[in-house]
Structure 1
Amino acid sequence: MIVEDIVSRVLYRDALVLVIDKPAGLPVHPGPRGGETLVQHLDALRFGLPRRPEAAHRLDRDTSGCLALGRHAKALARLGRLFAGSAVDKTYWALVEGGPAEEAGSIDLPLARRSDDPRSWWMKADPAGDPALTRWRVLGRGPGTAWLVLEPVTGRTHQLRVHCAAMGWPIRGDAIYGGAPRHGGPGLQLHARALSLPLYPKKPPVTAEAPVPPHMRAGLAACGYRAPDEPGA
């Protein structure tokens, strides 16, 4: 990724927060395997401030779309409280294998780590785990797949991926929970489509919407999606 690319991915900007369109395949923070991360590019998003912005919440390496960045310590603290208190409305689009028989519903399945190893982020449905609630709705259907809007009420690690897999319709391209190959294929078909942040008490929420990523366009089109107004669509 080049500097001009990340600047072009800014969806919203004010004195406290940036929302960017994170590309799929780019981890936010450094990991044990090394490699390129979003952190390496954040200096390009200072826009005159002395320090770079920092991510206010998690977004998986292979998930594309809206990521909120706090522009300084006070902004990060305010955003952290919003995300911790489930005050942020998060909307994801996913292409799943098969799909639900119904048109809408919710998934209420507690989640826990698969392993006691603190380095492991893999999760499982577990009645003794932390409460986790996801609302979903079918937006379209195609051959062997469905296009869902997913709204996580809670914010557990890998919540949407585990919940969809547990229901029998894993997210396409999910190498951990869906049985997809780790290499090749279209990649994880999960996109953080929109964020709504009630950041200012006397103003409407800050909103941002990320365009459909290239690796999901064909699958969404097969489910009836059309968006000629989006960049690159």
Structure 2
Amino acid sequence: MSVPAILFEDGEALVIDKPAGLPLDAPRTGGPSLNDQLEYLRLNFQRDPAPVHRLDRDTSGCLLLARNPKALKRFAAAFEARTVEKVYLGIVDGVIAQDAGTIELALSKVSTMKDGWRMIPARKGKPAITHWCKLAEHEGRTLVEFRPETGRTHQIRVHAASGLGAALLGDPVYGDGNNAARTMLHAAALTVPRDGKPPIVAQAPFPEDFAALGFAAPDAAQQNDDG
């Protein structure tokens, strides 16, 4: 698998465009992972950079890496404090009636011998909030912008399926897994505020497999609009 493109770089941070299909950790069954790329991503620094947050294997786009332990701690605290702005694009398998909204569904992890683990909406789960707006429709599918306020595991995937009533196209856990080679979710943009320094700002290119389904990249004005 090719080396991820670098979207942002300075002395304490890297943002890479993680390819769809590349897991962060080495799979138990073997195969490539981001771990294999970390030595290259040192880029002449002494340490391997460390992922600050997680993206699912299928999810493409902006992934923040810290170049030293102090930066890792600060960036992780920013995610925890919800000061990081994250913009995702997803193609859902259905037409959404509303134009925009906010999904508030608390999430909890469940596990069974038959199906393994998954996240489910649960009143006693951890709070999860996602703001969303509809960008385009094509052939019974909808391109949606998601702005998660919290960062729960599988949050957008569950909120699409249970909050919008239309799972992400290709999602094998919360949808039917059909009609796409992967779960169609892309981390399109990331902004991380920093004390005394300009923020980390990165945007990932619109995925080719999204375009192949008949959707076009949102313009910059749409990407940066808070509504």
Equivalent of residue 100 in structure 2, options 104, 110, 123: 104
2:60 aligned with 1:64 = yes
One-letter amino acid of the structure 2 residue matched with residue 193 of structure 1: A
CA-to-partner distance for each residue in 1:151-175, whole Å, 9 max, x for gaps?
0000000000001000311100101
Q: Is the 8 A contact 2:87 2:146 kept in 1?
A: yes
Paired position in structure 2 for 1:30: 26
Residue number in structure 1 paired with 2:210: 216
Residue of structure 1 aligned with 2:165, choices 160, 164, 168:
168
User: Secondary structure of the residue that 2:38 maps to in structure 1?
Assistant: helix
Out of 112, 135, 141, the residue aligned to residue 137 of structure 2 is 141
| Root-mean-square deviation (Å) | 1.8
Deviation at 1:98, TM superposition (A): 1.1
1:60-112: CA deviations, max 9, x gaps? 00000000000111111111111111111000000101132110001000000
Tell me how far apart the structure 2 counterparts of residues 69 and 31 of structure 1 sit (CA, whole Å). 20
**What TM-score do the two structures reach when normalised by structure 2?**
0.89
Say which SS state the counterpart of residue 36 (structure 2) adopts: helix
Q: Across the two proteins, how many residue pairs are aligned to each other?
A: 216
State the Cα deviation string for residues 115-169 of structure 1 (Å, max 9, x = none). Answer: 289xx65211111100000000011111111111000000000000001000311
Are residues 156 and 41 of structure 1, via their aligned partners in 2, closer, same or farther at CA, if it must alter by over 3 Å? same
Task: Decide whether the 8 Å contact of 1:114 with 1:124 is kept in 2.
Answer: yes
- Structure 1: gaps spanning 5 or more residues: 228-233
Tell me the distance in 2 between the aligned counterparts of 1:214 and 1:16: 30
* 2:60 pairs with 1:54: no
**Counterpart position of 2:200:** 206
User: Aligned partners of 1:59, 1:226: CA distance in 2, in Å?
Assistant: 21
CA distance in 2, matches of 1:158, 1:226: 24
Listed as ranges, the gaps of 5+ residues in structure 2 are 220-227
Q: 1:90 to 1:121 in 2, by over 3 A?
A: farther
Q: Counterpart of 1:114 in 2: which secondary structure?
A: strand
Shift of 1:215: 1.7
Change (3 A) 1:99 1:212: same
User: Does the CA contact (< 8 Å) of 1:88 and 1:198 recur in 2?
Assistant: yes
Task: Indicate conservation of the 8 Å contact 2:135/2:218, yes or no.
Answer: no
- Secondary structure of the structure 1 residue equivalent to 2:76: helix
1: CA distance between counterparts of 2:210 and 2:175?
17
Question: What is the one-letter code of the residue matched to 1:176?
Answer: V
Which residue of 118, 121, 126 maps to 2:122?
Answer: 126
The structure with the greater share of residues assigned to strand is 2
Tell me the distance in 2 between the aligned counterparts of 1:30 and 1:116. 24
2:148 corresponds to 1:155: no
Letter in structure 2 aligned against 1:212: F
CA distance in 2, matches of 1:212, 1:108: 27
Give the alignment's TM-score, normalised by structure 1.
Answer: 0.87
